Structure 1
Amino acid sequence: MEGVIGDNESDTSDDDDDVRERQHIHKIQNYVEHTIPLYDNETFQSHFRLQRPEVYRLIERYQQTNYLVNNDSNETAITHEKAFLLTLYYLANTETFLEISDRFDLSMSSAHRVLQNTLDFIISLQDEYLVWPHNREDKREISQRFSKIQNIHGVIGAINGCHIRIKRPMEQQRDYFSRKQFHSIVIQAVATSNNIITDVHIGEPRSMHDSRVLRRSPIYAAAHDNPDFFDGYFLLGDSAYANLPWLVPPFRDNGHLTDKEREFNYRHSSTRVRIEHTFGLLKCRFRRLNKFNNLLLDIIIRCTMASCILHNILTIARINNINIDDDSDDDNNNDNDDYNDNERVFVEDRRQYIFQNMFVDRE
């Protein structure tokens, strides 16, 4: 899903960077040409997060597009390789933009331009790597994996929101000021049990409640406009969300929960926590998401979207390298965990339906 592009901009001034930009800075020479080729695979991945073959496969695809805009002659033009590696390095690390432009031997303006060009290319891969599971077989596979956690059948994703810290915006500052005493925007995401992001909505101010962020997101509109969008499957969310036919929160703990309700909440939380794992993994891989400085909000949103797509590329590559024995175990368990066509029910109170069926064998 697309991010929200706000009208407000982050403060683009930074005294330290301005002073350093006016000074003569000794730039690193031939970092891409001479230094990076000497990195072993582990060092390369620690700097750029993706494995080297995957990075250069994406660079080859980048070269086949018109996203990179060069204002220099052919001899001094910035290569697709340098532009892509700079963008990966920027997203994966917390160095200042001036330090990164020095590392890649570029002026600040050129580095900023190729960063935006490359973000646009990465975001163009969204329909390939950040995809809602429309295929019934894909939905069934996702549901099977979730059911193996706490035997809750029919879960197609876990949903939540998290902070993306930003510098104080120039306008509507109070809207972006969170209860954690800093300014931030929200990323709402849906993730599978193996940490693949299947839907994302980025850019709402942090002061907005999670339930309202949901109502403003494309996934809510899709579910509202198309009753078959979830196809009998549903999401798990925390208590900030309303109980919907396609979204199941836990029972609110008012001090009077029954033992079964507490068990339901435990099993719900143990399954839903995969979205928290996904956010943690995303921010660990792409540390720029922990705090942005000196950027317009629309670029922050694009950086966040690109990071989500790169996260999925990395996660899918990891899943594809899983030991064949794990795949065999999955196949052996399909009969027990399958949420088949007969079980895909369409009910108004989904939580109550799950709750009743969870304990049917004990009655």
Structure 2
Amino acid sequence: MDDIKKKILTNLMDSHGALELFNMIHESSSSSESSEDEDDQDSQLMQRIDEYSEEDFKSQFRLNRSTVDFIVSNFAKSRYSTNSTPHGGRPRMECKKEIYVFLFYLGNTVTFKELGDIFGIQKSSAWFAVGRVSGWLVSIGDKYIKWPQREEVKENARKIVSLKKMPGVLGVINCTRVKTQCTTRDLFFPKKRKKNVDIFFQAVVDADRKFIDIDLSCADGKSKFQHSSRALRRSTLYRNAQDNYKGLFPYNTFLIGNSWCPNLNWLIPPFSNKMSTTECHIKFNRIHLSTQKIASDALGMLQKRFRRITKFTEQRLVKGAISIVASACILHNMCIIMNDSFEIDEVELESSSESQCAPEEEYPQNLDLEIDRRQLLFEYMSLRNKI
């Protein structure tokens, strides 16, 4: 590749990202490119990646090598892999290379043209590889993003009260916007004026910072807080919680959320500034804010590991962008399960070692659901000298 393409990669990506990968892959193949066929170049590329140190491999693909090997082996068995769809003509990419292409795309903000140049494939091949892998991850998402059951609810609440001193919490709900290049034309409104549409990302996070529920919808031009409350009421979580509260929240557990959340029997926001008239209310809000940090940490980890979801440069289809964001959430949970950590300077994660030795907190079980849960929790924590 010539100097112009190198400059493009340098300007659009960080110094330890795609340019480094490009140099390591192509440094020995550029001089003999005319004499080697594409199969030899592909085998050399895969060999060089396999020779990466663990540190270099993770800096490029954002996951440990063992995690990637696990993903490759499962993807190869699926109907989405190229191995399961034989056809004539040029041979398709092997499964491992497709996974590498997808992970590099997810971990960086390169365009599909640049992605194809880096891996020696056509732009269309890179596009279809990303689509196939993200489609496969979404198809197995219910194995990794799932609502906790009864015993899991107990353990999760125990961890949160050990870390944050707030009893009865099943999870923390938060939201963010993902900026895309999608337009209203992709939403089947051809007569309306064309404008960009962002993705509204609502997530419920447990004590281990895993996503236990996600809801991805199209954000309108309203402010973040106006849309957050409206999107919550339109979500599947809201309907299920209203219809089957006891089944979804055993042991009278609940979620906590930000100030945009309504005060419900299963969802507790902080006290507003007008209601925070005493020192106890202020302390309650501080503990509440500290517990909310579990969700903000999880979203921060997701965005720093998979930088693609902070910037979609070419996706015009809402469905495709949503699929990529959902697949990033699935990989996030998969990494936590496999102890594949990712160091992030901007997100300070608190140690969970305290939860192994802290005593289990007892929380009143038989509650009258007509009572204001926030006020009941406030009074309970006041009596226990928590605030």
Q: 1:157, 1:282 → 2: CA distance?
A: 17
TM-score, L = length of structure 2: 0.77
Corresponding position of 2:59? 46
Q: Does 1:238 align with 2:258?
A: yes
Corresponding position of 1:107? 122
Corresponding position of 2:22? none
Spell out, residue by residue over 1:269-302, the C-alpha distance to the aligned partner (whole angstroms, 9 max, x if none): 0111111111111100000011102211111000
Q: Does 1:332 align with 2:357?
A: yes
Alignment RMSD: 2.8
* Residues 239 and 249 in structure 1, CA contact (< 8 A), matched pair in contact too: yes
Q: Does 1:162 align with 2:176?
A: yes
Corresponding position of 1:10? none
The runs of 5 or more residues in structure 2 that have no matched partner are 1-7, 9-29, 342-350
TM-score, L = length of structure 1: 0.82
Q: 2:278, 2:238 → 1: CA distance?
A: 31
* Residues 233 and 246 in structure 1, CA contact (< 8 A), matched pair in contact too: yes
Q: 2:227, 2:171 → 1: CA distance?
A: 20
Query: How far is 1:145 from its partner?
Result: 1.2
Q: How does 1:212-231 map to 2 (within 5 A)?
A: 212-228=230-246, 229-231=248-250
Amino acid at match of 2:297: H
User: Which structure ranks higher in relative contact order (CA pairs < 8 Å, sequence separation ≥ 6)?
Assistant: 1
Q: How does 1:303-322 map to 2 (within 5 A)?
A: 303-318=324-339
The runs of 5 or more residues in structure 1 that have no matched partner are 1-15, 17-25, 178-182, 321-325
Q: 1:361, 1:270 → 2: CA distance?
A: 18
CA shift in 2, pair 1:344/1:161, >3 Å = farther
Spell out, residue by residue over 1:59-96, the C-alpha distance to the aligned partner (whole angstroms, 9 max, x if none): 11111111135575487221111111111111111111
Spell out, residue by residue over 1:154-199, the C-alpha distance to the aligned partner (whole angstroms, 9 max, x if none): 101110110101125144799977xxxxx52210000123211110
Q: 1:319, 1:271 → 2: CA distance?
A: 24
Identity level (%): 30
Corresponding position of 2:380? 357
Question: Number of paired residues?
Answer: 326
Moved more, 26-35 or 86-95: 26-35
Structure 2 residue corresponding to 1:191, chosen from 187, 205, 211 = 205
CA shift in 2, pair 1:44/1:72, >3 Å = farther
* Residues 282 and 307 in structure 1, CA contact (< 8 A), matched pair in contact too: yes
Larger radius of gyration: 2
Q: 1:264, 1:107 → 2: CA distance?
A: 56
* Residues 249 and 266 in structure 2, CA contact (< 8 A), matched pair in contact too: yes
Corresponding position of 1:275? 295
Query: How far is 1:317 from its partner?
Result: 2.1
Corresponding position of 1:299? 320
Helix, strand or coil at the partner of 1:358? helix
Q: 1:253, 1:166 → 2: CA distance?
A: 34
Query: How far is 1:244 from its partner?
Result: 0.3
